[in-house]
Amino acid sequence: MRRSLLRTVIVLLIIASAGLAGWEWLQRHPEHDPWAPLALVDPPGWATAMKLQTLRGDRAVCRAFLESSGIMAEPLPPTGEGQCLRGDRQVLQGLAQVKVRLAPRGAQATCAIDAGLAMWLRHGIQPAAERLLGSPVTSVEHFGTNNCRRIGGGSDGNWSEHATGNAIDISAFVLADGRRISVLKGWASGDEKAAFLHDVRDAACQSFSTVLSPDYNAAHADHLHLDQAQRSGGWAACR
């Protein structure tokens, strides 16, 4: 009886020690901790996708992330109506926080798009630019965010995420050394520009719900479509 009790105590101590060690490890690696808030300084981890999914569906969580990241984006009044009601909109500031320009200026989109751009720039764009091109990105060019239309521009079918300003189309990147890397000219160039564009496309899949590139279809030959669509189960599309 005494031996059985001793074994039970030892097992409980081992479990407690393992739990404590696991808790301490999560404190050092919050990117893997599902209970820790999403932080821009943390690298992508096991729990990042889940945190981003929460952020996409909860505007308060999204705004808390922007504020904790030093991104001062002011919400704008709703505009539009019906399927094109843009209830969540702001002037995008996720790149300006680290002095990277979004061109044209003044683009408006959802909080989740702003958060995705900030995450993508820090953990995808700039590391790839430094590693593959030897120069940081100073400007990101786009074709727009909101457009009241259905997917493909037809009269039926699902509405595009652009209809509610929950998407952005990225067309080019300008480096500090003056080089301009466009999706249209660089995607299939077979050199370091192509490597960079493919790398940032893959990295965008960690920050956005949908990423569509020239590999998807001809309609995306000149841009990367990025959106923050809410999907059941949190699955993402990356092509």
Is the predicted pLDDT of residue 190 greater than 60, yes or no?
yes
Q: What is the mean pLDDT of residues 136-155?
A: 95
**Closest residue by Cα to residue 26 from 40, 42, 50, 49:** 42
Q: Which of 215, 139, 145, 153 is nearest to 182 (CA)?
A: 139
Examine the pLDDT at 17 and tell me if it is beyond 70: no
The lowest-confidence range among 15-24, 36-45, 70-79, 110-119 is 15-24
Residue 90: closest CA among 118, 68, 113, 70: 113
User: What are the structural domain ranges in the chain?
Assistant: 51-238
Per-residue pLDDT tens digits for 44-56: 999 999 999 999 9
Q: What is the mean pLDDT of residues 133-147?
A: 98
CB 184 within 8 A of CB 204: no
Q: Cβ distance 119 to 81 under 8 Å?
A: no
pLDDT at 212: 98
Distance of alpha carbon 53 from alpha carbon 229, whole angstroms:
9
Q: How far apart are CA 187 and CA 84, in angstroms?
A: 32
The three-state secondary structure class of 159 is strand
User: Hey, which residues does 90 pair with through a beta bridge?
Assistant: 75, 109
Tokens of 59: 């505007």
For the cut 80, the answer to whether the pLDDT of residue 15 exceeds it is no
Please say if the pLDDT value at position 114 is more than 80.
yes
pLDDT in tens, 197-233: 999 999 999 999 999 999 999 999 999 999 999 997 7
pLDDT-derived band at 23, boundaries 50, 70, 90: very low
Looking at the chain, the whole-number percentage of residues with pLDDT higher than 70 is 88
Segment 59-63 shows an average pLDDT of 97
Query: Which two structure tokens, joined as six digits, stand for 87?
Result: 């209830």
What is the dihedral sign for C-alpha 28, 34, 39, 43? positive
Q: Is the pLDDT of residue 18 over 60?
A: no
pLDDT at 155: 85
Q: DSSP letters along 81-140, please?
A: -GGG-B-S-EE--TTGGGT-EEESTT-EE-HHHHHHHHHHIIIIIHHHIIIIISS-EEEE
Beta carbons of 108 and 76 less than 8 angstroms apart: yes
CATH T-level assignment (fold) for domain 51-238? Muramoyl-pentapeptide Carboxypeptidase; domain 2 (3.30.1380)
- Is residue 8's pLDDT more than 50? yes
pTM recorded for the entire structure: 0.90
Inform me whether the pLDDT recorded for 97 exceeds 80.
Answer: yes
**Spatial distance between the Cα atoms of 70 and 56, rounded to a whole number of angstroms:** 19
pLDDT at 20: 47
What integer best gives the mean pLDDT of the chain?
Answer: 91
> For residue 199, what is the DSSP state?
H
How far, in Å, CA of 34 to CA of 26, rounded? 9
Among 209, 27, 179, 193, residue whose Cα is nearest residue 112: 209
Give residue 129's pLDDT: 98
